[in-house]
Structure 1
Amino acid sequence: VAAIRRAEENARRMGLGSVVRVRARQLSDITKPTHQTMETGLLVVNPPWGERLSTTAAAEKLYSALGQVMHSEFSGWNAAVLAAQMSHAKATGLRSHKQYKMKSGPIDIALFLFALDEANKLRQTQEKPLDDGGVSQQDLPTLSTGGEMVANRLRKNLKKLSRWREQEKVTCFRIYDADMPEYAVAIDMYQGAIHMAEYAPPKTVNEVDANRRFDDVIDAVQVVFNVSSRGDIAVKRRKKQRGLDQYERVGRRNQRLLVNELGAKLWVNLFDYLDTGLFLDHRPLRERIQREVKGKRFLNLFCYTGVASVQAGVGGARYSTSVDLSNTYLEWFRDNLAINGLSESRHQIIRDDVLNWLASGTSEYDLILLDPPTFSNSKSTASDFDVQRDHVSLIRLTMARLAGDGVLYFSNNNRRFLLAAEITEEFDVEEITKSTLGPDFTRSTHIHKCWRIVRKVSGFTWPEAAH
């Protein structure tokens, strides 16, 4: 009631008291104005976005009810509806022909436009019985032709990976990786939870078509995995990242999930960052490190959330040192150590610029993982870092920290990266990329490149055979 009075007072102050009418109504009671005939008009709605509701499912039910009112009471009009998620707009059951992204404080929202004409049919789902997963089929979307194609591919991939997953006890893996180019999405499972990421389509692709295809994929995921609410799927609309953009928060759920990998427990966050805290493509490399590290000194450079160091600890490393510049991810790493009962006294965490740290010390290590970003910059460093430009000096500095018979694993995810000839001339280098990709990444052969680097054996010649 107080809000109604304030709105009326504001209208009077603007000289619109005789034009603007303010009423308190239930959503189900809203109709077209009756004081005169209005065949056309504009309905503007700012519902709760889910931030003010208890669950995403509650928000979607509200938007569904709004769609019913828009369709039944405002035929011939246009509508503009604010929403924080695409799933909310889709829950109206009506097709939005245009979206405008904007901010409401820290929250990303969008204004969805609807033409409420005869061509914009209200989508209805028929009542169906419960399936084996306990989710009512009426809560699941009806798939378009494209959505059905994606669903079939998901089922095929799951069947193909099932034996491997069971034998290796893999619970975090990639399900789909742009298998069909027009649906350019990566879909991962983290111990039953779904994470879905799409790179922004090229400018040549129509935005409406791209959004429709993206919706088709989400619908397919809901149907295949019996997910009734879109809000339970971690959805990221990706774009090319520069510098520290990849580390910025994109959400505020603070909802972590504990997963298992190779005998280690690991924290992931599927909603709040572009990345989840666990790079699934590096699983075979982490397994190799765990297998080789027993009794050795391990160094993890650009350590991120420290997963490789945790695996080294589980594998029996003598001790480890991990270096990164991000406070956020080093704290995450600390949580990963703690949940596995690993102490910081044995697994040292250092916040520093990797190049500076390498140049300022002399300690040696038997096994080193060097996995730099493609590009980075920071207020804490004087210059930026480019892996193609800087990898020669970086590898030389790292090799200076390698014990005589030690091994360096060098990896990066720059798809255009070329290893400089100086490195292959100075060191014994073997590319091992293929062996560091699991069965779930057979379609993603360019997701990273990896080399095994050791010192060249010099000063040794075979003795001549006796005559």
Structure 2
Amino acid sequence: MFENRLTKVFKHLRKTAKRQGVTCYRVYDNDLTEFPLSIEIYEDELYVAEFKREHNLSEEQYEEWQQRGMEIMSKVLDIPIDNIYLRERKRKENRNDQYEKLSFESHERIVQEDGLKFKVNLTDYLDSGLFLDHRITRHMVREMSQDKDVLNLFCYTGSFSVYAAAGGAKSVTSVDLSKTYLSWAEENMQLNDIYDPAKHKYVHADVLQYLEDLKLNSFDLVVIDPPTFSNSKRMKDFMDVQRDHVSMLNNILLALRPGGVIIFSNNYRKFKIDEAAINAKTIKNITAQTMPFDFNGKLIRHCFRIEK
């Protein structure tokens, strides 16, 4: 059953990926209840996340199930078993989960996307370091960044920052609570020969507090992709994206120059944007147009273009 499903999906996705020149993409996302997996191709390697679940298998049976699954992936996707990286994960609600180092194998490699280079880690963290679902959104930011002052909030490993800088941004400011990810963001800039400390800055800060101190009319483009919920000890207060999105966006709008744009995304399934309370000129839902071929119909996330 799993082999048939994977074969069918891969046949379709591989053609689209080849046509679009995409080498990192998702091929399976919890399609079958009996196989609660997310499978992503990173060129010639696989990142496989197994979602935690209740099962009635003995330890020996479970290990056999895992091994057989990897054999099927290797056969169907034509990737050696030694190039498959499997980890168990829970669905994250808390940003802290993403920050914690869960392993020390440190299998890092460089992958290509849209002519740019990014470091990914397929073993140590909850995510690889490159959110594949924002492939189109990143390209959009690149197209919008020429001669702009760009702010990337909750920047993670800085992929949006790299795209903005590659798109000719006048400056890029990347803000995150994790020094680990800020360093990773700097590495990604260096990989693409666009590392310039005079133009591009990396700020270690709690975004909610950082927003309170932003200067008026200081940015042209802001990218914000917050976690659903965060209660890190390093934060002054916990964050809830549904509760706090209006205050965050209105603070950002104050920091935008006239005609400036916010690209706002989040993964909260039940999220409802409070348009009436946001002091914007226009708010456009761009979720559908930023959904890549390998996530179509599978991903629950929201994306908005908000203009001052």
**Contact 1:434–1:445 (Cα < 8 Å) also in 2:** no
Q: Which residue in the other structure is 1:154 paired with? A: 6
Q: Which residue in the other structure is 2:202 paired with? A: 349
Q: Which residue in the other structure is 1:240 paired with? A: 91
Q: Which residue in the other structure is 2:259 paired with? A: 405
Q: In structure 2, how many angstroms separate the alpha carbons of the residues matched to 1:432 and 1:408?
A: 12
**Contact 2:24–2:113 (Cα < 8 Å) also in 1:** yes
**Contact 1:324–1:351 (Cα < 8 Å) also in 2:** yes
Q: In structure 2, how many angstroms separate the alpha carbons of the residues matched to 1:452 and 1:211?
A: 46
Find out whether 1:223 has 2:75 as its counterpart: yes
Residues 160-185 of structure 1, C-alpha deviation per residue, up to 9 Å, x if partnerless? 12332223211110111122233221
**Contact 1:297–1:317 (Cα < 8 Å) also in 2:** yes
Find out whether 1:299 has 2:299 as its counterpart: no
Q: Which residue in the other structure is 1:360 paired with? A: 213
Find out whether 1:315 has 2:164 as its counterpart: no
* Higher RCO (CA-CA < 8 Å; seq separation 6+): 2
Q: In structure 1, how many angstroms separate the alpha carbons of the residues matched to 2:64 and 2:292?
A: 31
Find out whether 1:252 has 2:104 as its counterpart: yes
**Contact 2:136–2:292 (Cα < 8 Å) also in 1:** yes
Match of 1:259, SS state, is: strand
Q: In structure 1, how many angstroms separate the alpha carbons of the residues matched to 2:256 and 2:121?
A: 33
Read off the aligned partner of 1:236 and give its amino acid letter.
R
Residues 30-63 of structure 1, C-alpha deviation per residue, up to 9 Å, x if partnerless? xxxxxxxxxxxxxxxxxxxxxxxxxxxxxxxxxx
Q: In structure 1, how many angstroms separate the alpha carbons of the residues matched to 2:277 and 2:208?
A: 17
Q: 1:240 to 1:207 in 2, by over 3 A?
A: farther
Give the alignment of 1:152-301 within 5 angstroms.
152-201=4-53, 203=54, 205-206=55-56, 208=58, 214-229=66-81, 232-241=83-92, 242-301=94-153
Quote the offset at 1:367 in angstroms: 1.2
Q: 1:211 to 1:184 in 2, by over 3 A?
A: farther
**Contact 1:264–1:340 (Cα < 8 Å) also in 2:** yes
Read off the aligned partner of 1:367 and give its amino acid letter.
L
Q: 1:211 to 1:434 in 2, by over 3 A?
A: farther
Q: 1:214 to 1:399 in 2, by over 3 A?
A: farther
Residues 369-395 of structure 1, C-alpha deviation per residue, up to 9 Å, x if partnerless? 110011112222222111112111111
Read off the aligned partner of 1:238 and give its amino acid letter.
R
Q: Normalized against structure 1, the TM-score is what?
A: 0.61
Q: 1:382 to 1:155 in 2, by over 3 A?
A: same
Quote the offset at 1:215 in angstroms: 4.6
Counterpart pick for 2:233 among 379, 396, 402: 379
Quote the offset at 1:338 in angstroms: 0.8
Q: 1:206 to 1:424 in 2, by over 3 A?
A: farther
Q: In structure 1, how many angstroms separate the alpha carbons of the residues matched to 2:63 and 2:238?
A: 35
Q: In structure 2, how many angstroms separate the alpha carbons of the residues matched to 1:325 and 1:220?
A: 39
Quote the offset at 1:421 in angstroms: 4.5
Counterpart pick for 1:437 among 286, 291, 295: 291
Percent of matched pairs sharing the same residue: 38
Residues 140-165 of structure 1, C-alpha deviation per residue, up to 9 Å, x if partnerless? xxxxxxxxx22232222222123322
Q: In structure 2, how many angstroms separate the alpha carbons of the residues matched to 1:355 and 1:207?
A: 45
Give the alignment of 1:3-18 within 5 angstroms.
none
> RMSD of aligned C-alpha atoms?
2.0
Q: 1:165 to 1:401 in 2, by over 3 A?
A: same
Quote the offset at 1:444 in angstroms: 1.4
Q: Which residue in the other structure is 2:282 paired with? A: 428
Q: Which residue in the other structure is 1:394 paired with? A: 248
Q: In structure 2, how many angstroms separate the alpha carbons of the residues matched to 1:314 and 1:263?
A: 10
Q: Which residue in the other structure is 2:306 paired with? A: 453
Q: In structure 2, how many angstroms separate the alpha carbons of the residues matched to 1:236 and 1:246?
A: 14
Q: In structure 1, how many angstroms separate the alpha carbons of the residues matched to 2:119 and 2:209?
A: 29
Quote the offset at 1:319 in angstroms: 1.4
Q: In structure 1, how many angstroms separate the alpha carbons of the residues matched to 2:49 and 2:255?
A: 37
Residues paired across the two proteins, number: 303
Give the alignment of 1:80-99 within 5 angstroms.
none
**Contact 2:10–2:77 (Cα < 8 Å) also in 1:** no
**Contact 1:177–1:443 (Cα < 8 Å) also in 2:** no
Unaligned runs of 5+ in 1: 1-148, 456-467
Q: 1:359 to 1:424 in 2, by over 3 A?
A: closer
Residues 97-137 of structure 1, C-alpha deviation per residue, up to 9 Å, x if partnerless? xxxxxxxxxxxxxxxxxxxxxxxxxxxxxxxxxxxxxxxxx
**Contact 1:244–1:376 (Cα < 8 Å) also in 2:** yes
Read off the aligned partner of 1:412 and give its amino acid letter.
N
Q: In structure 1, how many angstroms separate the alpha carbons of the residues matched to 2:5 and 2:244?
A: 41
Residues 205-229 of structure 1, C-alpha deviation per residue, up to 9 Å, x if partnerless? 5355877655543231122244554
Q: In structure 2, how many angstroms separate the alpha carbons of the residues matched to 1:335 and 1:415?
A: 32
Quote the offset at 1:441 in angstroms: 0.6
Q: Which residue in the other structure is 1:326 paired with? A: 178
Q: In structure 2, how many angstroms separate the alpha carbons of the residues matched to 1:370 and 1:329?
A: 16
Unaligned runs of 5+ in 2: none
